[in-house]
Amino acid sequence: MQLGIYGLGRMGANMARRLSRGGIDVVAHNRSAGPIDELVAEESRITAAYDLEQFIAALPLPRIVWLMLPAGDITGQAIEQILPMLSAGDLLIDGGNSFYQDTMARAAKVQQSEVYYMDVGTSGGVWGLNNGYSLMVGGSKEAFALIEPAIRVLAPSADHGWGHVGPVGSGHYVKMVHNGIEYGMMQALAEGLAVLRAKKAFDLDLAQITELWRDGSVVQSWLLDLTAEALAAQGQSLEHIAPVVADSGEGRWTAKEAIDLGVSAPVMTLALQMRFASQDAEGYGNRLLSLMRNAFGGHAITRK
């Protein structure tokens, strides 16, 4: 089997490596040449393609093109460029974190050219190369049959960690909600550990506590594993880390979807709002709160 991967960031490059090591030939393309050269030097089953024409020409029919690009305009523009080069029966896959409604709209256009379109929600981060990726696949049965061997190689095992979850759009939808859940889990761990650290009388060792929770506890998880390892390696003061947490599109989309569906999702929504609060350098709302407390109760204002 041979397929092409366009987009060799942290996820795309490691996916190409895992496919190559699993016996699948990969044609690798990227907007800059450095990641291509690095992969070709490492892996015997990876072929370089430095422009789109070379990339498409190197793929056998039916061509399988897997995009691992940032969501939004970059993915949309890549599809616009690639689609005229494809033939009926080829397969175009979006493995990034695109909004599922954008995916459905793009699929309708791609399928007018009789090209299959699939969305693969992909989780696993920088650990996916060794541990495998969780793959949430949306698309037709015919399209899935073309890509199934690669899915089985990329997943943690041939029979676990992947699923054909539904039609086009469903893969990105499931990944969107997955990331919303991730926000809530991370927020709960962070808040609990902050409470433990605040109890100065006990002088608790958070590295020790998170480590002991990893075995036999109902809160054991991969997120807990990573937290325990980081605290053990870096210490628990975390003075070198600014208290600012970025948010990606999936958390916002999940919160909006819950509102649109009338589904109560306070934990995921509040976790998103806490990330917004961490990004608020101006803190205008909190300044107003201090002003109000002073106005009605004479409470002191802390001067900057």
Which entry of 42, 80, 148, 175 is annotated as an active-site residue? 175
- HSE-CB for 200 with a 13 A CA cutoff: 1
CB atoms within 10 A of CB 297: 8
Q: Which of 243, 244, 272, 242 is nearest to 256 (CA)?
A: 272
DSSP-derived letter for residue 47 is E
290/287 Cα distance (integer angstroms): 5
Q: The dihedral of CA 264, 119, 39, 24: what is its sign?
A: positive
Residue burial 105-120, b: 16+ Cβ < 10 Å; e: rest? ebbeebeeeebbbbbb
Told to judge if 304 belongs to the known catalytic residues of this protein, a careful annotator would answer no
Question: Which residue in this structure is represented by tokens 């009926």?
Answer: 88
Told to judge if 182 belongs to the known catalytic residues of this protein, a careful annotator would answer yes
Q: Which of 192, 185, 149, 176 is nearest to 255 (CA)?
A: 176
Which entry of 43, 53, 141, 182 is annotated as an active-site residue? 182
275 touches 183 (CB < 8 A): yes
Q: Is 46 exposed, middle or buried (0-12, 13-18, 19+ CB in 10 A)?
A: buried
Q: Which of 123, 216, 227, 236 is nearest to 176 (CA)?
A: 123
Q: Which H or E run includes 20?
A: helix 10-21
294/222 Cα distance (integer angstroms): 45
Active site residue ranges: 175, 182
